[in-house]
Amino acid sequence: MGAERVVVVNGPNLGRLGVRDPEVYGHDDLEKLRSLCDQWGNELGLDVEVRQSDDEAEVIHWMHRAVDESTPVVLNPAAFTHYSYGLADAASQVTDAGLMLVEVHISNPAAREAFRRRSVISPIATGTIAGFGFTGYRLALEAIAAKR
């Protein structure tokens, strides 16, 4: 049997990592995150695919695909976290299918502006990791690997 597939989905503006608010999100870019996830996946026996989109419909579609392909999800919903019921409904189909969905935030939204304190994704996520920079993705992958 090959390595278990995991999809790491990043929402809007995360293609701007390294340029956008480096004091909040760090100096590393999405390509660095991609290579780290690849490396961590190899260490954990996971086949990790990192995606990013600014388009809500595309992110929703990736949740549907994860269900159809029985693939656990690491999701940084970015700003969709705070208001997208469409994404929450799509993400709940992942967990309803018995697949893990780990919500990740690079920063700690609870320690920032008031509008970031609410997540419409947390209530349906398997679990949430926030505030540890890119390491949060590694922790999410470890949680998925540990569940096998």
Q: Does residue 13 belong to the site contacting ligand DQA (CB under 6 A)?
A: yes
Q: Which of 134, 141, 143, 146 is nearest to 5 (CA)?
A: 141
Residue found by looking up tokens 């705070």 in the block: 82
Contact residue for ligand DQA among 67, 79, 97, 143 (CB under 6 A): 79
Q: Does residue 116 belong to the site contacting ligand DQA (CB under 6 A)?
A: yes
- 105 catalytic residue (yes or no): yes
Q: Does residue 109 belong to the site contacting ligand DQA (CB under 6 A)?
A: yes
Q: Does residue 78 belong to the site contacting ligand DQA (CB under 6 A)?
A: yes
* Stretch touching ligand DQA by CB under 6 A, among 49-57, 61-69, 100-108, 139-147: 100-108
Say how many C-beta atoms besides its own lie within 10 A of residue 74's C-beta: 26
Nearer to ligand DQA among residue 105 and residue 138 (C-beta) = 105
Q: Does residue 105 belong to the site contacting ligand DQA (CB under 6 A)?
A: yes
Selected catalytic residue, list 27, 64, 83, 105: 105
Binding-site residue set for substrate:
76, 82, 89, 106-107, 116
Catalytic residues: 25, 105
Using CB under 6 A, list all residues that contact ligand DQA.
13, 76, 78-79, 81, 105-107, 109, 116
